[in-house]
Amino acid sequence: MARRTRASVAVVMYHGVTREPLPFFNWCQLDAGSFEQQMRFLADEYAVLPLTEVVDRLTAHRPLPEHTAVVTFDDGFRNVATTAYPIMERHQIHSTVFVVTGLVGTHQPPWTDRLFQTIANTPVSSVTFEGTDWPLTTPERRSSAHRAICKRLKQIDNDRKEEHLRELFRQLGGCPEVSPDSPLATMGWDEIGHLSRGGLISFGSHTHTHPILSRCSPEAQREELTRSRDILRDRLGSADLFAYPNGTRGDFTDDTKRLLAETGYRCGLATVPGLNGANADLFELRRVNVGADEGFSQFQLNMIGW
pTM: 0.96
User: 197 and 293 share a domain?
Assistant: yes
Express each pLDDT in 87-145 by its tens digit. 999 999 999 999 999 999 999 999 999 999 999 999 999 999 999 999 999 999 999 99
Counting residues of the chain whose pLDDT is more than 70, the rounded percentage is: 100
User: 210 and 85 share a domain?
Assistant: yes
Residues pairing with 77 in the sheet? 186
Between 2-11, 180-189, 246-255, 295-304, the lowest mean confidence (pLDDT) is in 2-11
User: 160 and 208 share a domain?
Assistant: no
Residues pairing with 188 in the sheet? none
Residues pairing with 289 in the sheet? 13
User: 257 and 117 share a domain?
Assistant: no
pLDDT at 213 over 90: yes
Tell me the mean pLDDT in the region 170-182.
94
pLDDT at 1 over 80: no
pLDDT at 150 over 90: yes
Counting residues of the chain whose pLDDT is more than 90, the rounded percentage is: 95
Range of the domain at 133: 111-171
Tell me the mean pLDDT in the region 211-223.
96
Tell me the mean pLDDT in the region 58-75.
96
Residue 63 buriedness (CB in 10 A; 0-12 / 13-18 / 19+)? exposed
User: 115 and 133 share a domain?
Assistant: yes
User: 215 and 273 share a domain?
Assistant: yes
User: 147 and 293 share a domain?
Assistant: no
What spatial distance separates the first Cα and last Cα of the chain, rounded to whole Å? 7
Express each pLDDT in 29-44 by its tens digit. 999 999 999 999 999 9
- Do 94 and 201 form a contact (C-beta atoms < 8 A)? yes
pLDDT at 20 over 90: no
Quote the mean pLDDT of the chain: 96
